[in-house]
Amino acid sequence: MFHWLEKNPFFFAVGVFLVIAYAGIVTVLPDFMESARPLKGTKPYTVLQLAGRHVYIKDSCNACHSQMIRPFKSETDRYGKYSMSGEYAYDRPFLWGSKRTGPDLMRVGNYRTTNWHEIHMYKPSSMVPGSIMPSYKHMFTNTADIETAYAEAYTVKSVFNVPYDEEDMPKLGTWEEAQKTAIAEAQLIVDDMKDPQVKEAFARGEIKEIVAIIAYLNSLQ
């Protein structure tokens, strides 16, 4: 058999290729599958965070901001640890982005506060001199769509088996329970805000878009 292969270089080359390809698959595939699973500590978004993510998409924040830190020193020095595939396990759709008019936001929850986001969204240049980012004052008056966010969370739980009710995961529960959870989560954010209209609206039971998007941005760590 081996003598025959030595006399037929074409088939010998094919055989070597198949052996190397098989060895590569056996070595790489298990690690690839493991890295694609949710990383330890990665959780599905809460209903309030999902509502904020919807605002983020609706207002095209992903057109100017990426959410993928590349494994280069210049990236990690500025933005923090590089992104890993398992961190996006619960993202639907992915918001990696392809352009950075503004900075990457993958780890923004680690270095920006609720108060910073509030002021920045209302008047970006007050926090970042020379910023070309537009003002998002409408987020302070528009009410967040918590019901649609709950519908998405319920869908990914029932269709895609996202484990919302497992240990250490945010509990989804019924719509009424989700409302109470969202209000409790929003309360913590509103308490750190200064805008009187947002506070007054929350006292009436309204969660403004600015509260939801801050909840989402704070979750990016």
CATH number, domain with residue 110: 1.10.760.10
Confidence of residue 5 (pLDDT cuts 50, 70, 90): low
Contacts of 96 (CB under 8 A, 6+ apart): 66, 67, 68, 88
**Which residue's entry shows tokens 């509502």?**
51
Burial class (CB in 10 A: 0-12, 13-18, 19+), 4: exposed
Q: Which residue has the higher pLDDT, 47 or 22?
A: 47
Q: Is there a single domain that holds both residue 115 and residue 134?
A: yes
**Which pLDDT does position 123 carry in this prediction?**
97
Please give the tally of structural domains in the chain: 2
pLDDT at 218 over 90: yes
For the chain, the average pLDDT equals 90
pTM of the predicted protein model: 0.83
**Which pLDDT does position 36 carry in this prediction?**
55
Contacts of 144 (CB under 8 A, 6+ apart): 48, 51, 52, 55, 207, 208, 209, 211, 212
Q: Is there a single domain that holds both residue 87 and residue 117?
A: yes
Q: Is there a single domain that holds both residue 80 and residue 159?
A: yes
For residue 193, give its domain range: 47-219
**Which pLDDT does position 171 carry in this prediction?**
87
Confidence of residue 170 (pLDDT cuts 50, 70, 90): confident
Q: Which residues pair with 208 in a beta bridge?
A: 143
**Which pLDDT does position 102 carry in this prediction?**
95
Q: Is there a single domain that holds both residue 11 and residue 97?
A: no
